[in-house]
Amino acid sequence: MLQNGISVITLTPFDDQGNLDEKGIRKLTDFYIQSGVHGMTILGIMGEVHKLSDHERLRVMNLVLEQTNGRAPVTVGCTAEGTKIAIDLAKEAERAGAQAVMIAAPRNLNNEDMLFKHYTEIADNISLPIVIQDEPVTTGVKMSPQFIARLGNEIDNVQYVKLEEAPTTVKITKILNETDQLKIYGGLGGMYFFEELDRGAAGIMTGFAFPEVLVKTFELFTNNQKEAAREYFYQNLPLIRFEAQLGIGGVAIRKETFKLRGIIDSSHVRFPGASVDQRTMEELQEIIDFVGLTVK
């Protein structure tokens, strides 16, 4: 079972030549856990899963599960274009010891009957909880709140949903009005985390490069210090906003930030992928200084 709070979407470190950095994966995993996150979500878009070979995908999963060693629940991304492939990936995650799987819709499958069958068949083949990844920008699939609620109400394994369709806040309310069978995690880089919590979200799944900021926001909020949580979150919002620049790519900025923090050795993003210019790096450092955070 996943915990309420921050289930960080993890990066996949590479070396400067684009090879898997296995030492970096272990070091990054330890950093996430030491930051106080309540779980880890691996092999998502943030982890450049679409640029990994089948062998690399399996290796990353096994490395992270081995390194966590039960210290935090791990959700494994198992999205695939075909139902059988998604089932095989989910079975592999279950055998490896994952606590849940995250599955987005196959691209452009805007047919609710077929999509319901897709999730039903996956659920029938595993015992792990399923996180529905609502990601219309990447998949081209818009899932209505009513349909998401139906998945939770009618498929036992479907216990969580991660929202990436803006405004997440409105969608949270609409889903919770339709079901009490789902825990909802926000997304969108953390842009609306406070508001998502205030709407009833269980937590967030995002890859913000200062996860400890989200952890503290969550702790304040759940300890009945709502206004302190709001103030602290809003104080750090400029960095969250800066990190979410789609024109540059959140993966590149986040990798640069983790490199600045001394957590990974290389900020390499596999091609095709955006790079970060010098002025952007200067702006990044300026904002980190402005909000009062440190990189080391």
pLDDT in tens, 174-231: 999 999 999 999 999 999 999 999 999 999 999 999 999 999 999 999 999 999 999 9
Q: Which domains does the chain have, with CATH numbers?
A: 5-226 (3.20.20.70)
Dihedral over Cα of 260, 44, 250, 204: its sign = negative
The Cα 246–Cα 224 span in angstroms is 34
Give CA separation, 180 vs 88, 152, 165, in Å.
29, 8, 20
Nearest partner of 99 among 125, 147, 61, judged by Cα: 61
205 is in an annotated binding site: yes
Taking the model in full, what pTM does it have? 0.96
Radius of gyration of the chain, Cα coordinates, nearest whole angstrom: 18
**Is it true that the peptide bond before 106 is cis, omega within 30 degrees of 0?**
no
What confidence tens digit (pLDDT) does each residue in 224-272 have? 999 999 999 999 999 999 998 755 567 999 999 999 999 999 999 999 8
